[in-house]
Amino acid sequence: MMPHRHWVRNYSPLCIPIRLADNSIVYSSGVGTVVFDPVMMDGKPSKPVEFTRVLHVPSLQNNLLSCLYLARHKHIIIHIDSEQMDFSLNGKSLFCAPIHSDNCAVLSGSSERLSESAN
């Protein structure tokens, strides 16, 4: 889920309720795909990754990634240690997320490509 409409490709309107951790409800506006350009911990860029079924939720403050969905449905292996999370598939590293002092992890890379279908 993300608040950034301009990152979403193949956008389709979709309004569904989403219950947040604080028990409040927000609504999606659409769904599509997002291309993410990872940067690995050694600073080297990696092959782009396409996230599918990404919900556009304008009222979110931050992007949210479901690690359990990736593990269960996309068979991505997630290794977590005290400093970072590493995501791999079939033995190949896809992307990583350094863990910050506030116990939040942020993917290393960018998704700032403008969608061809964004207006």
What is the SS3 string spanning 2-65? ECCHHHCEEEEECCCEEECCCCCEEECCEEEEEEEEEECCCCCECCCEEEEEEEECCCCCCCCC
Q: What digits encode the pLDDT tens for the residues 41-71?
A: 777 778 899 999 999 999 999 999 999 999 9
Q: What digits encode the pLDDT tens for the residues 96-111?
A: 999 999 999 999 888 7
Geometric angle at alpha carbon 27, from 11 and 99, rounded to 5°: 85
Q: Does pTM surpass 0.85?
A: no
Tokens of 84: 């970072």
Residue type, 79: H
Tokens 């005290």 sit on residue: 82
